[in-house]
Structure 1
Amino acid sequence: MPIHEHYEPGSPCWVDYAALDPEGARAFYGELFGWTFDESGGYEYIRLGERIVGGFGRVPQGQQLPASWNTYLAVADADAAAERVRKWGGTVVFGPIDAGHDGRLLFAVDPSGAAVGLWQGHRPDGVVLVDEPGTWCRHELWTDDPARSAAFYAAVFDTAKFDGTVSGRGPKPRWMTFFLTDGGRATLAAAERRGAGIAAEHGRATVLRDPWGALFAVTPL
């Protein structure tokens, strides 16, 4: 099974879900992908079998934020990245802050309006299972100005060229997470049965809107 073992700056390294209804979201995604959750009441790991596939938390109370899937990109130095975000027209929403002994993170909004997390890991090896049914397999930045967005991320990650996937899709700029599934139509039927809707078709993938409004995409094997 593929485990991400090393993350180059700018590469997706983590995904998590911010829930408005934690109990309902666990039931929805548990049926859809076969996931289990730590259910610690705080920030939880999402697992497929014994393997970690992402994180699960609550939308902070009183902030009027939507439920969402959040992409995190690897950085070598979170503090330096925060300065570059501001310098090149982005906004730091919070952080950088320590995340226990695992690393440092910040959350930002890029100049196009897409929210993104940046993660400086303290561990040399990754722990996230990817590219298997029930795990994420791709992240895309959807923006109305791909050239500007690519230039911003290249500057933030201090590289000549940003190698992430930047797409000219809209209407609202966002990072989109794609999850691999071997269920085909059965996966879509399960999602719709629990209150999700089909938002769009994207090549072989289908973009879904979960019952709380969070967008994500499923890609068949």
Structure 2
Amino acid sequence: MTEARGSAGPNGETHARHVPGTPCWVSLMVHSMAATQEFYGSLFGWEFRPGPQQLGPYVRALLAGHEVAGIGQLPPDRHLPLAWTPYLASDDVDLTAETVRLCGGTVGVGPLDAGDAGRLMIGSDPSGAVFGVWQAAAHLGTSIGGVSGTPAWHELLTFESVSVAKFYETVFGHEEEPVVSTDLDYVTLHVGGRPVAGIHGVGGALPRDRGPHWVTYFEVADTDEATAHVADLGGHVLKPPRDSAHGRVAMVADPEGARFSLLQRPRRP
């Protein structure tokens, strides 16, 4: 679980443009903006300021002045399962959208301009998992990483990894590294030799009410403490904290049901 993203200096200086194919942003569409901001503000220490309004009311979450994620307002009549959506960087979102269609995916929104911030599309892969694409202009994307409250990893839960991995490889130029295991269907996607995301084939264990979907891991200092805080704030614990090869993890959901994971990285000696 290693992210490839641009870096930001301690005084907020401009960070590097994200390499095409790397996760560069994550956003969530919700019904109650105020309650959602209160939840994540308390959990991660985020503050909020208005962002582009092309798709309705929208705010950007900031951590120590650095942009981390976005939260938007859903129309009242939309009652689909809520989920954090990762955006992958592109130098030409229109060409990426065309490639998505040619490779069996679907373009649901865009491509369209988000003011002077950049250009975006929202689509789904052939299995139905929703993702975004971001062509940066003024807004380069997430500008801080490696600290509590920032996206640390993105993992696609799907039926099987092979065909879906080929889609992302063709559309975004990812290189694949399958996990050699008889009981684990997992592919890590790389850009420039660095792991940027994972695809986990879980077959029949996929939640029937969800279908294939992306899960964002947010870094925390203490997974157990953060999990307890989620419950105190009205969220839900879906998978309690456990140790993994990459650190201590838990899967939780916010009060509206949007799932995400918490990751406490192993302490370095």
TM-score, normalized by the shorter chain, greater than 0.5: yes
1:99 and 2:89 aligned: no
> What is the distance in 2 between the residues matched to 1:159 and 1:52?
25
Question: What secondary structure is seen at the aligned counterpart in 1 of 2:167?
Answer: helix
Partner residue of 1:9? 20
Q: Deviations over 1:58-111 (max 9, x none)?
A: 113333333321100011211111111111111100100011112211000111
Question: What secondary structure is seen at the aligned counterpart in 1 of 2:119?
Answer: strand
Following superposition, the deviation at residue 2 of structure 1 comes to 4.4
2:254 to 210, 217, 220: 210
> Is the Cα contact below 8 Å between 1:112 and 1:145 reproduced in 2?
no
> What is the distance in 1 between the residues matched to 2:115 and 2:29?
19
Deviates more, 1:53-62 or 1:105-114: 53-62
2:229 to 187, 190, 195: 190
> What is the distance in 2 between the residues matched to 1:64 and 1:125?
30
Question: What secondary structure is seen at the aligned counterpart in 1 of 2:87?
Answer: strand
Deviates more, 1:24-33 or 1:56-65: 56-65
Following superposition, the deviation at residue 42 of structure 1 comes to 2.5
Select the structure of larger CA radius of gyration.
2
> What is the distance in 1 between the residues matched to 2:254 and 2:91?
33
> What is the distance in 1 between the residues matched to 2:68 and 2:252?
19
Question: What secondary structure is seen at the aligned counterpart in 1 of 2:21?
Answer: coil
> What is the distance in 2 between the residues matched to 1:156 and 1:39?
31
Partner residue of 2:213? 174
> What is the distance in 2 between the residues matched to 1:68 and 1:147?
23
Unaligned runs of 5+ in 2: 1-5, 9-14, 177-188, 191-196
TM-score by length of 2: 0.75
> Is the Cα contact below 8 Å between 2:117 and 2:139 reproduced in 1?
no
Cα pair distance change 1:126/1:27, threshold 3 Å:
closer
> What is the distance in 2 between the residues matched to 1:117 and 1:111?
14
> Is the Cα contact below 8 Å between 2:157 and 2:214 reproduced in 1?
yes
Cα pair distance change 1:189/1:121, threshold 3 Å:
same
1:137 to 144, 152, 171: 152
Partner residue of 1:57? 72
> What is the distance in 1 between the residues matched to 2:150 and 2:99?
31
Deviates more, 1:114-123 or 1:3-12: 3-12
> What is the distance in 2 between the residues matched to 1:14 and 1:125?
9
User: What residue identity is the alignment partner of 2:75?
Assistant: P
User: What residue identity is the alignment partner of 1:193?
Assistant: D
Deviates more, 1:108-117 or 1:159-168: 159-168
Matches within 5 A, 1:41-120: 42-120=57-135
Question: What secondary structure is seen at the aligned counterpart in 2 of 1:186?
Answer: helix
Cα pair distance change 1:129/1:159, threshold 3 Å:
closer
Following superposition, the deviation at residue 160 of structure 1 comes to 6.0
> What is the distance in 1 between the residues matched to 2:64 and 2:198?
29
Aligned length: 221
Deviates more, 1:71-80 or 1:35-44: 35-44
> What is the distance in 1 between the residues matched to 2:168 and 2:114?
23
User: Among the aligned pairs, what percent are the same residue?
Assistant: 36
